[in-house]
Amino acid sequence: MLFTRSLRTLAQVRPCVSVLRRGFHNGRDDPMGFMVPIVVEQTGRGERSYDIYSRLLKERIICLMGPINDHVSSLVVAQLLFLQSESSKKPIHMYINSPGGVVTAGLGIYDTMQYVLPPIATWCVGQASSMASLLLCAGAPGMRHSLPNSRIMIHQPHGGAQGQATDIQIQAKEILTLKTKINNLYVKHSLQSLETIEKNMERDHFLSAEEAKEFGLIDQVLVHPPQPGEEST
């Protein structure tokens, strides 16, 4: 189980506690806007430092944390394409803790997840709401996970329009088209009927990890790291 293996791997990395900086170690801005730890790894050629997210990327782990916008979408899409170029068979693990965000940005991530060849395991840590819940359930069948106290929320897309009456009519038609598209994607991944999806997405619908499993949004709830010879629940 990569969740356990990645923790074990990082436990072998000596943290450089005194080195903290805003943004990624290579100069990119941190999309979450807080201080990013730098870790130092001992190699045969000496020490090598990474920001924590680059170190996790070496283990084929992508962290989707915070609101989904065009900037976050571009980072996640780039990481997915990079990991596919590294290996088209090894699974990619995407950890999600997000309240959702811009629909088009989320659909860009979704389409890339479906496009790349490696199977994608999704993990909900904290919350996966709105568009983030669609990304959670869009993982490879049997590889969609949640930690036990995470919350998943689904609802219909939000939108607003202003301007001339004709412009408002165009925008209203577009958001209804998006609503239909997103409903059908939930049908595809949850195997629920369209009527059930439409009913549950009419308003904010919150689910616990176990309820999300019963609804078909995830496959497993990871209560604790599996022991040797033990499967996760």
Give catalytic residue positions: 130, 155
Torsion, CA 96, CA 97, CA 101, CA 102, rounded to 10: -20
What is the spatial distance between Cα 38 and Cα 13, in angstroms, rounded to a whole number?
Answer: 10
Cα–Cα distance for residue pair 211/221, rounded to 1 Å: 10
Element (H, E) at 205: strand 205-208
Report, in this order, helix, strand and coil percent for the chain, each rounded to 5.
40, 25, 35
Q: Cα(79)–Cα(67) distance, rounded to whole angstroms? A: 17
Contact 206, 233 (CB under 8 A): no
Helices (H), the chain: 2-11, 52-58, 70-86, 103-115, 131-137, 165-190, 194-200, 209-215
